[in-house]
Structure 1
Amino acid sequence: MQPLEGFARRKKTSLWFVGSLLVVSVVILTVGLAATTRTENVTVGGYYPGIILGFGSFLGIIGIHLVENRRQMLVAAVVFISFGVVAAFCCAIVDGVFAARHIEPRPLTTGRCQFYSSGVGYLYDVYQTEVTCHSWNSKCQLKVRSNTCYCCDLYTCESAEPSPTYYEFVGVRSCQDVVHLYRLLWASAVLNVLGLFLGIVTAAVLGAFKDMVPLSQLALGPSAPPQILYSPAQQVLAYAGFCQPPTTIPTCSSYPLPLQVGPASPSGDTQPPTQPASSSGPPPQAPPRYAPASFPPGEKPPPYAP
């Protein structure tokens, strides 16, 4: 959760990075297409990262402005940008190595290459003529077709193996197009390296921004009602159904009390009260009950002992 000012600042920063990556992707695509359509026999793949990075940047711009599905859209943008970063790394190496090892610009810039333009069409596939190329101590015939820039200085007559350096470029309008191709290859390699680093930074920025939620959105959003996992009353009632009712303690009135006491002993001690008889009658060993004592006339009863 971020304050509204911090969220707006991070959103603006993310837009700057994504917009810059989109611009670089468009430039990579344009330069790559211009290089790959310059000749027929030189294949350039530097425009593929521009397509992938551009699509990822487009998804990132849409995801930044979304509210509901922003996280899913930004995750998809980060995935495409990651693939574009890998493609930019590979294409930068391929285009750089090709420009450094397979194209020699010195004969082209000094005007030692010739251009053959005779032919019936731009994409004429049949060789039209043979030209003579002179090597150090020999000469040989080289077949060329229409709209071809060829360099005899780069063609070795004595060697049966193909030359590692391109000595002819088919489908060009002039030898100056080959010079433009050489510069476009290096420009594509540099732009792919720039897209590589910018894509890494942009993916990191979008990955941090996708989990941010402004505090105002949480405050204005509908609050979910609290969920009661259990009701204490229902729990007490449920437990009460398993408890046994408490047993009733008998009161004192349910036990019979002795109504008579025996005569006091000569020592002054009283006899203990007798146990109450059960409802089924006295047991066989129970002592007999006391009978009321009779006193002769004129004699007082003994004092009552409590």
Structure 2
Amino acid sequence: MTKTKKKEKKGKKSIPEAGPLLPQQQEQQQQQQQTNRTLSDVNFRCKEYVSKQKRAVQLCIVTLLVALGSFAVGLRAHFVTDNVKVGAFWPGIVVAVGSLVSLLGVCKSQKGRIWMAAGMVVLGVGAVMAMIGTVVDGVAAGLVAKTDFSMCSHVNGPTGYVTCGEAGYWTFGKCDMVVYHRTCYCCHLYAQQHCNVPGYSLSIQPHRYDNVDSCQQVEVEFQALLWASTVLNILALAVAVTTVILISAFKSASIHPLVSAPPGVNPATPVVIYNGAGQQHVLTYAHCPPYPGIPTQPPAYPNGEGQQRPGNEKPPRYSL
């Protein structure tokens, strides 16, 4: 009996008993749990930040492509004729420059806030110009669409005069109209304007189109280019405004660093924090939007160095 009791006592002594946690250890454990929760939250928010950056880059590229298309179509429409100078290609230049500057700013993230601000200003100006270009090309396309080109003629000869007023064009007499080489002219429109047209205006139908191959080129190609330029300018206006809104939201999300650096610490320097289990966390102070700071804990070394306890006592066993 005595031997069995001694064995039981020995067995009881072999089982270590976990002592109560010290206040400092409890505080460290709570801080570690809070740090883990904060790190998971920061990880989620950083992924959201990266997705916003990706969307901003994609939208800047789309805006650039639309601006280049608007520029190409408007430039072609501008040079179809020598006297009717419409075709709004200039908004495409401004919107393209604004999208490029904004794209550089978005790619640079923290260091590109000035680029993003400049890009938003240029895109705003480009949006206003695209709205003006939409009105100009839309009105010009409407005037061309109203013209009856079956009553117009085309001349390939040298510069000369054409007498308008014959064949019932108008009943107040005759008048001469100057025509140039490769000109599509419409006497019925010139007669309706009483042979007195000071110049091209969006309020008056053009009666002459200089340096064209035929009147059909004006009716088909020129009109199609003007309508296409109108649509592209509307699209450029829409994507420019959308890009400004998205970049503004992205810029406000990247103004402040992720974690505020402690006093005397360079924000560009990563900080290594050890927990009681010998694990380490590397914290940086940039590259992410403003989120709650990660709480730090008093330095606890994995090997137990630097920890001073009274006497030679070993710390009680505890689990994290």
- TM-score normalised by structure 2 residue count: 0.60
* Counterpart residue type for residue 9 of structure 1: S
* Counterpart residue type for residue 118 of structure 1: G
**1:130 equivalenced with 2:169 (yes/no):** no
8 A Cα contact 1:105 1:182, kept in partner: no
CA distance in structure 1 between the partners assigned to 2:174 and 2:145 by the alignment: 21
- Give the 5 Å matches for 1:159-238: 159-162=194-197, 164-179=204-219, 180-213=221-254, 218=258, 225=264
Q: Which residue of 1 aligns with 2:188?
A: 153
Structure 1 or 2: more helix by fraction: 2
Q: Which residue of 2 aligns with 1:263?
A: none
For residue 152 of structure 1, report the CA deviation from its aligned partner. Answer: 2.2
Q: Give unmatched runs, 5+ long, in structure 1.
A: 120-126, 228-306
**1:5 equivalenced with 2:47 (yes/no):** yes
Match of 1:26 among 63, 68, 81: 68
Distance 1:131 1:187, change over 3 A: same
Match of 2:85 among 43, 49, 55: 43
Distance 1:223 1:44, change over 3 A: farther
8 A Cα contact 2:102 2:115, kept in partner: yes
Count of residue pairs brought into register by the alignment: 215
Q: Which residue of 2 aligns with 1:297?
A: none
* Counterpart residue type for residue 186 of structure 2: C
CA distance in structure 2 between the partners assigned to 1:86 and 1:8 by the alignment: 30
Task: Using the aligned pairs only, state the percent identity.
Answer: 28
SS at match of 2:184: strand
8 A Cα contact 2:110 2:254, kept in partner: no
Q: Which residue of 2 aligns with 1:90?
A: 132
For residue 75 of structure 1, report the CA deviation from its aligned partner. Answer: 0.6
For residue 155 of structure 1, report the CA deviation from its aligned partner. Answer: 2.4
CA distance in structure 1 between the partners assigned to 2:251 and 2:175 by the alignment: 66
Q: Give unmatched runs, 5+ long, in structure 2.
A: 1-41, 199-203, 267-320
Distance 1:158 1:13, change over 3 A: closer
Match of 2:151 among 107, 112, 121: 112
CA distance in structure 2 between the partners assigned to 1:133 and 1:169 by the alignment: 19
8 A Cα contact 1:113 1:152, kept in partner: yes
Distance 1:139 1:35, change over 3 A: same
Q: Which has the larger radius of gyration?
A: 1
* Counterpart residue type for residue 176 of structure 1: Q
For residue 154 of structure 1, report the CA deviation from its aligned partner. Answer: 2.1
Query: How big is each residue's C-alpha offset from its partner over 1:48-94, in whole Å with a ceiling of 9 and x where there is no partner?
Result: 11000000001111111114521111111101000001111111112
CA distance in structure 2 between the partners assigned to 1:225 and 1:34 by the alignment: 61
Q: Which residue of 1 aligns with 2:298?
A: none
8 A Cα contact 2:67 2:96, kept in partner: yes
Q: Which residue of 2 aligns with 1:265?
A: none
Moved more, 33-42 or 157-166: 157-166
8 A Cα contact 1:128 1:144, kept in partner: yes
8 A Cα contact 2:170 2:192, kept in partner: no
* Counterpart residue type for residue 183 of structure 1: A
CA distance in structure 1 between the partners assigned to 2:136 and 2:161 by the alignment: 33
CA distance in structure 2 between the partners assigned to 1:160 and 1:114 by the alignment: 17
* Counterpart residue type for residue 119 of structure 2: A
SS at match of 1:75: helix
- TM-score normalised by structure 1 residue count: 0.62
CA distance in structure 1 between the partners assigned to 2:164 and 2:63 by the alignment: 50
SS at match of 2:148: helix
SS at match of 1:155: helix
Distance 1:129 1:10, change over 3 A: same
8 A Cα contact 2:164 2:191, kept in partner: no
* Counterpart residue type for residue 247 of structure 2: L
